[in-house]
Structure 1
Amino acid sequence: MKSATLPSFWSKYRESNSSVRAGARKAYRLWAENPFHPSLRFKCINSEEGIWAVRVTRSHRALGVLEGDTVTWFWIGDHDEYERFYS
């Protein structure tokens, strides 16, 4: 599976604290090896829009749109904000 990012992802990433950024880097390395590793909990949260989520830390998620074999990451943030994408 391939990965791309939008400026919106990097903007939220830069706003995040260092532990979230470190978690994101670690999660990405693991995702690149095996997107469906159990610890990542990579799953579709909005099938109409093709939005997929991956666990970055216990309280943070990253979101992307899956098209073909590429996920385009557009958001990273805390779990409370994340819930608005599928509630």
Structure 2
Amino acid sequence: MILQGKVRVNDEVYTKKAYNVCQEDVVEVWKNAYAENSSLAQVERTEIVSYEVTEQGYNFEVKSWKSFLSDNWRSSQ
């Protein structure tokens, strides 16, 4: 999905997997254009509330929406 340009973080589309998410980042995964208004898109949205690095790995606290309306940043594709 990243390589296809379907992921954006804080309104910037990423096409490389090297981004490390930070606290307060908003990550959206593009699902499809909204049928009733092509300037909108249905996305899966995740907000990073906090995270910490532990000996076992990373612990994330997030807010997540499986279906969220956003601007259609892929409308030209």
- Relative to the length of structure 2, the TM-score reads 0.33
Q: Which has the larger radius of gyration?
A: 2
Higher strand share: 2
Name which structure has the greater RCO, CA cutoff 8 Å, separation 6+.
1
- Relative to the length of structure 1, the TM-score reads 0.30
